């Protein structure tokens, strides 16, 4: 778990100091589990129409010895959309991404190229689809599959290995690349290998309950919120989603990107140091009321 924590922090230069804990072969196995986790496509079903909901977003807190989690439960899945930075070479803080799109809550989304490690959020990685428009494509093209989480027009949340063209054919309106998968078709997908490869960290993830509600979870770490907190594992995330009867869930970008806002308020202090107190993001999942 310690070595996985270093690997998943995207600072591989420190791995050379980890060989007193694991052999090179064992570290290579962790790399493989991180880069190529087991993937399965979630089952697409006929989602019952979700009636317009007047229920407010539910905010829950889970506190453990190792992390604090904030959880949003959004009753109407058709209000959740992927939004992207209005700048071509720089991201925006989550607060601006929510405000600019008339949203009321949200979390960070997918990953980005971070040259120099300055967290500018400028260039999206993999697939990004927003409101039916393709905004990011893998370098290998629209037929190249990537692990994604996304929404169909009826609000059904799916996850799997899809290309841009496949997603458009399915009628996906909003999607973004990241991972690993946490829950698929009601089954916990976090193996011991995947859990070890990702270690402990601030986490962001999104999923859907069997009743259609969307569940967004973030956790703290790196001692920004609580000086004793090491962070959550992927298994910790899976157990929280299971407690909400989630059918499909996938991890988003974590670490310093992990951010959640509701009604203009940061629900946990992000593990990053910037002038605005949060990282610049290429995209985010935002709740936009009808």
pLDDT of residue 135: 95
CA-CA distance, 164 to 145, in Å (whole number)? 7
Q: How confident is the model at residue 15 (pLDDT cuts 50, 70, 90)?
A: confident
CA-CA distance, 288 to 79, in Å (whole number)? 5
Q: Tens of pLDDT along 210-250? A: 999 999 999 998 766 677 888 999 999 999 999 999 999 99
Place of tokens 């980005």: 112
pLDDT of residue 131: 96
pLDDT of residue 273: 81
CA-CA distance, 42 to 40, in Å (whole number)? 6
Determine the average pLDDT of the residues in 196-202.
Answer: 94
Q: What SS3 state is found at 205?
A: strand
CB 188 within 8 A of CB 166: no
Determine the average pLDDT of the residues in 242-263.
Answer: 96
Most confident of 18-32, 120-134, 205-219: 205-219
Is the confidence at residue 49, as pLDDT, over 90?
no
CA-CA distance, 39 to 124, in Å (whole number)? 22
pLDDT of residue 57: 95
Is the confidence at residue 134, as pLDDT, over 90?
yes
Please state, rounded to an integer, the average pLDDT across all residues of the chain. 92
Burial class (CB within 10 angstroms; exposed 0-12, middle 13-18, buried 19+) of 165: middle
DSSP H helical ranges for 68-122? 94-100
Q: How confident is the model at residue 154 (pLDDT cuts 50, 70, 90)?
A: very high
Q: How confident is the model at residue 51 (pLDDT cuts 50, 70, 90)?
A: low
pLDDT higher at 13 or 230: 230
Q: Which of 221, 219, 217, 201 is nearest to 250 (CA)?
A: 217
Determine the average pLDDT of the residues in 49-56.
Answer: 66
pLDDT higher at 267 or 228: 267
Determine the average pLDDT of the residues in 164-183.
Answer: 97
Longest Cα–Cα distance in the chain: 57
pLDDT of residue 60: 98
Q: Which of 236, 276, 227, 275 is nearest to 254 (CA)?
A: 236
CA-CA distance, 267 to 9, in Å (whole number)? 22
Q: How confident is the model at residue 53 (pLDDT cuts 50, 70, 90)?
A: low
Determine the average pLDDT of the residues in 253-276.
Answer: 92
Q: Tens of pLDDT along 279-289? A: 999 999 999 99
SS3 content of the chain, % helix, strand, coil (to 5): 25, 30, 45
Partnered with residue 283 across adjacent β-strands are 84
pLDDT of residue 188: 98
pLDDT of residue 137: 95
Q: How confident is the model at residue 105 (pLDDT cuts 50, 70, 90)?
A: very high
CA-CA distance, 88 to 40, in Å (whole number)? 33
């Amino acid at each position: 778990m310690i070595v996985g924590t270093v690997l998943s922090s995207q600072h591989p230069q420190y791995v050379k100091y980890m060989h007193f804990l694991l052999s090179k072969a064992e570290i290579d196995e962790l790399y493989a589990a991180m880069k190529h986790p087991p993937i399965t496509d979630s089952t697409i079903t006929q989602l019952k129409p979700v009636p317009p909901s007047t229920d407010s977003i539910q905010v829950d807190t889970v506190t453990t010895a190792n992390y604090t989690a904030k959880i949003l439960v959004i009753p109407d899945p058709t209000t959740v959309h992927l939004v992207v930075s209005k700048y071509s070479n720089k991201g925006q803080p989550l607060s601006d991404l929510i405000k600019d799109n008339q949203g009321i809550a949200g979390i960070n989304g997918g990953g980005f190229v971070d040259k120099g490690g300055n967290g500018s959020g400028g260039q999206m990685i993999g697939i990004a689809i927003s409101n039916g428009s393709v905004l990011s494509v893998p370098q290998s093209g629209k037929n190249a599959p990537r692990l994604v989480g996304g929404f169909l027009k009826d609000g059904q949340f799916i996850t799997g290995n899809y290309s841009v063209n496949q997603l458009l054919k399915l009628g996906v309106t909003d999607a973004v690349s990241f991972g690993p998968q946490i829950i698929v078709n009601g089954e916990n997908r976090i193996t011991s290998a995947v859990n070890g490869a990702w270690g402990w960290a601030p986490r962001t993830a999104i999923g859907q309950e069997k009743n259609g509600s969307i569940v967004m979870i973030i956790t703290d770490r790196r001692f920004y919120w609580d000086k004793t907190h090491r962070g959550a594992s992927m298994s910790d995330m899976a157990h929280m989603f299971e407690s909400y009867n989630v059918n499909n869930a996938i991890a988003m970008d974590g670490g310093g990107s992990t951010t959640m806002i509701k009604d203009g308020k940061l629900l946990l202090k992000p593990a990053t140091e910037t002038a605005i107190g949060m990282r610049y993001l290429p995209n985010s999942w935002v709740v936009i009321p009808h």
